[in-house]
Every structure is written in C-alpha cells, then in structure tokens.
Amino acid sequence: MVALARLALDEDELLRMARELDAVLGYVASLSRVDTRDVPPTAHVVPLATPLRDDVPSAPLDPDLALASAPEREGSSFVVPKVIEAEEEG
C-alpha cells in the first residue's frame, strides 16, 4: 500500500503506521454493521445539472510561467530521472 502511494517509510515508521492504521481500521469496521441494502452511494451532495463548457480555446500559459516552478527543466520541457521500462505504469 505504501509503495502504491509512492511513499517510503523506514522500519520504525512502518511499524508505527501499521499500528495507527490498525486502530483506525478497527474503528471504521463498525460501518459493516449498518444496513445499506438498496441505499445508493452519494454521488454528489447537491444535485446539479451537468455543467458544460463551450469548446472555445483560451490562450495558453506562457511556457516560462508554466515552467517557473519546475525543479528541473531543459528548454521548455520538464526533466525527470530516466524511466526504466519495467517501471512503466508500475
């Protein structure tokens, strides 16, 4: 689960996290007792008609502004460490 969230915890942190989460999960397990047959899950609290945007393009952001906070850039591209093929979508 930690890996799926792209986090890395050391041994101590992992143990503590596991304990804390166990407590929380034990608590939320109480929900299983609630009778929810035929109850629809809430999609949205305030029902709305679907807002649609007209297909009109706006001026794009100045690339320098888009990249202004980039930790690493080259030209107008963002740069990241190389992706190893086995990692694709992993």
Partner 1 sequence: MAAPLGTLRECREALAAGATSSSALVEQSLARAEACAHLRAFVRLRADAARAEARESDRRRARGEVRSPLDGIPIAVKDILVRAGEETTCASKILEGFVSPYTSTVMERLEAAGAISIGATNMDEFAMGSSTEHSVYGPSRNPWDLARTPGGSSGGSAAAVAAGIVPAAIGTDTGGSIRQPASFCGVVGLKPTYGRVSRYGLVAFASSLDQIGCFARSAEDVAVVQDVIAGHDPRDSTSIPEPAPRCSNALDGDVAGLVIGLPREYYEPAGIEPGVLAAVREATAALERAGAKLREVSLPHSEHAVATYYLIATAEASSNLARYDGVRYGHRAQGAHSLSEMYRKTRSEGFGPEVKRRIVLGTYVLSAGYYDAYYRKAQQVRTLIRRDFEAAFRGCDLIATPTMPETAFRIGERTEDPLRMYLSDVYTVSANLAGLPGVSLPCGFASGLPVGLQLLASPLDEARLLRAADAYQRLAAHHLARPPERG
Partner 2 sequence: MSAPPHPDYEVVIGLEVHAQLRTRSKLFSPAPVTYGLPPNHAVHPICLALPGVLPVLNGGAVELAIRVALASHCEIQSRSVFARKNYFYPDLPKGYQISQYEEPIATGGWLDVRVDGNGARRRVRLTRIHMEEDAGKSIHDAAIAGGATHVDLNRAGVPLLEIVSEPDLRSPVEAAAYLRALRSLLRYVDASDADLERGNFRCDANISLRRHGESRLGTRTELKNLNSFRFVEAALEAEIRRQARILDDGGRVVQATLHFDPQSGRTRVLRLKENADDYRYFPDPDLVPLVLSDAQIERVRSTLPELADARCERFVLEHGLAEEDARLLCESRALADFYEAARTRHGDADVAKWIRRDVLHALAEHGLEIEASRLAPEALADLVDAVRSGRVTAQSARALVPELVLSGGDPLRLVRERGLEAVSDTSALEAAVDAVLREHASHVERLRAGEVKVRNFLIGQVMKRTGGKADPAALRRVLAQRLGEGAS
Nearer to partner 2, 26 or 40 (CB): 40
Interatomic CA distance for residues 61 and 84, integer angstroms:
31
- CA–chain centroid gap for 5, Å, is 8
Long-range CB contacts for residues 60-69, cutoff 8 Å, separation at least 24: none
Taking phi over 0 as left and psi of -120 to 50 as alpha, with beta for the rest, 89 belongs to left
Tell me, by CB under 8 A, how many residues bind partner 2: 36
* 26 versus 75: smaller Cβ distance to partner 2: 75
Task: Please state the closest distance from residue 86 (CB atom) to partner 1, in A.
Answer: 10
Residues binding partner 1 (CB under 8 A): 1-2, 4-9, 13, 17, 20-21, 23-25, 27-28, 30-32, 34, 36, 39-42, 44-46, 48-49, 51, 53, 61, 65-66, 68-72, 78, 80-84, 87, 90
